Amino acid sequence: MNRSFRILAAVATLAFGVALAQTTTIGVSIPAATHGWTGGVNWWAAQAKTRLEAAYPNLEFVINTAGSPAEQADDLEDLIAINQIDALVILPFESDPLTEPVASAKDRGVFITVVDRGLSRAGIEDVYVAGNNTVMGQVSAEYIIERLGGQGKIVVLRGIPTAIDNERFDAFMALVEPTDIEVLDSQYANWNRDDGFEVMQDFLTRFPEIDAVWAQDDDIALGVIEALRQAGRENELFVVGGAGMKEIIKGVMDGDTLIPVDVLYPPAMIATAMEVTALKFVSDVPILGRYILDSTLITPENAADYYFPDSPF
């Protein structure tokens, strides 16, 4: 009885081990959907999981969402201990607190793909996929400078005080400062519609003449537009947002004059990272390295390529 049980257990363990060896588990750790852009990240991650698991039956994706850096570090431990992941695709909440947890996953032989926010120490990740915040600021600045002919008055609504926001803002200001365009003021609107509305109301009170608004983000831009409509000043200026929210891209496609363009910062980059990571386990093509996605200027001509009506963002 006792002996046969032991044999049974040994066989079961062996069978289980073989099954594990045949399946490659890829952990995906992303921030919870707390605002529009992260909502897009969640949607694209789910899309990529469905597609990749159907295409490659030996791959399994486990998606975890976290509400804070500490929670994300806990998720990492669970992914390693419980799910026994072979690879990790992570969009770190913040760079500093997650560098060591990711490094320790790396030490245990996990293949690491980092998305969007780089880690604080070089050489940990095998693959890096990111948008380009500097180029996003530059593309926005170039459009506004060209459209205004190098002179005029603008206001800037910033995001949440973070490295991402600083990179965009600094790159934007570096191009705008040498021109005759005057930046009347910049204030934080926290990538939030309500804050965008209130900050813009106050800018409109304060400045009788504004030629353009750099809202940097599509959620902020939507708040800005309502404030402009309320003040009846929607015909005297234009607004440049960013990210690629479907409502804004639809507007660009339809030739909206208030928001004539959008600057892409695609939440779909999480799907790019998952696809690249999957290739590592299903093919021999070389994939190691850094993938920096363009921050494209979306105009009425190319908007259709970036319009995803099913995405929540």
Partner 1 sequence: MSAPEAVAPPAPAWRGALRRVPWQQLTPLLALVLLVVVGSLLHPSFLTATNLFNVLTRSAFIGIIAVGATFVIIGGGIDLSVGSMAAFLSGAMILLMNALQGGALSPVGVVLMGVGMVLGSGLVAGAANGLAITRGRIEPFIVTLGTLGIFRSLVTYLADGGTISLDFGLRGVYRPVFYGNLLGIPIPVWAFAVVAVLGAILLHRTRFGRYVRAIGSNQEVARYAAIRVARIRTLTYVIQGLCVAIAVVLYVPRLGSASASTGILWELEAIAAVIIGGTALKGGSGHIWGTVVGAIMLSLIGNVLNLTSVISEYLNGTVQGLIIIGAVFLQRGRQGR
Judged by CB under 8 A, the chain residues 182 through 241 that form the site for partner 1 are 185-188, 191-194, 197-199, 201-203, 205-206, 219, 222-223, 226, 230-231
Q: Please say whether the beta carbons of 248 and 299 come within 8 A.
A: no
Q: Is 42 in the site for partner 1 (CB under 8 A)?
A: yes
Structure tokens of 43?
């949607």
Q: Does 177 bind partner 1 (CB under 8 A)?
A: no
Q: Is the dihedral of CA 98, 24, 279, 263 positive or negative?
A: negative
Question: Nearer Cβ to partner 1, position 108 or 206?
Answer: 206
Name which of residues 124 to 163 contact partner 1 (CB under 8 A): 158, 161
Of the pair 43, 238, the CB lying nearest partner 1 is at 43
The nearer residue to partner 1, 199 or 269, going by C-beta atoms, is 199
Which residue in 239, 298, 218, 303 sits closest to 264, CA to CA?
A: 298
Region from 26-34, 109-117, 252-260, 272-280 binding partner 1, contact rule CB under 8 A? 26-34
Least distance in angstroms from the C-beta of 201 to partner 1: 5
Q: Is the dihedral of CA 146, 151, 152, 153 positive or negative?
A: positive
For position 307 contacting partner 1 by CB under 8 A, the verdict is: no
**Is 25 among the residues that bind partner 1 (CB under 8 A)?**
no
Rounded Cα distance, 94 and 136, in Å = 20
**Residue number with CB closer to partner 1 (246 or 280):** 246
> DSSP character for 174?
H
Contact between 312 and partner 1 by CB under 8 A: the answer reads: yes
Q: What angle do CA 18, 20, 25 make, to 5 degrees?
A: 155
Q: Distance of CA 16 to CAs 2, 4, 9, 61, 85, Å?
A: 21, 18, 10, 18, 15
Q: Looking at beta carbons only, is 101 or 241 nearer to partner 1?
A: 241
Within 10 angstroms of residue 4's Cβ, the number of other Cβ atoms is: 8
Q: List phi, psi (to 5°) of 157.
A: -110, 120
**Minimum distance from residue 48 beta carbon to partner 1 (Å):** 15
Q: Which is nearer to partner 1, 33 or 80 (CB)?
A: 33
Return the number of the residue (117 or 193) whose C-beta is nearest partner 1. 193
The CB-of-20 to partner 1 minimum distance in angstroms stands at 31
Q: Total residues at the site for partner 1 (CB under 8 A)?
A: 38
Whole-angstrom Cα Rg for the chain: 23
Please state, in angstroms and as integers, the Cα–Cα distance from residue 10 to each residue in 13, 14, 21, 128, following that order. Answer: 5, 6, 16, 41
In the bound state with partner 1, the residue whose beta carbon lies nearer, of 36 and 137, is 36
CB under 8 A: which stretch of 4-12, 38-46, 174-182, 293-301 binds partner 1? 38-46
Residue in 77, 247, 294, 305 binding partner 1, rule: CB under 8 A: 247
Residue entry with tokens 């890829």: 26
Please report how the helices 218-231 and 246-253 are oriented relative to each other, as an axis angle in degrees rounded to 10.
60
Q: Which residues bind partner 1 (CB under 8 A)?
A: 32-36, 38-40, 42-43, 158, 161, 185-188, 191-194, 197-199, 201-203, 205-206, 219, 222-223, 226, 230-231, 247, 311-313
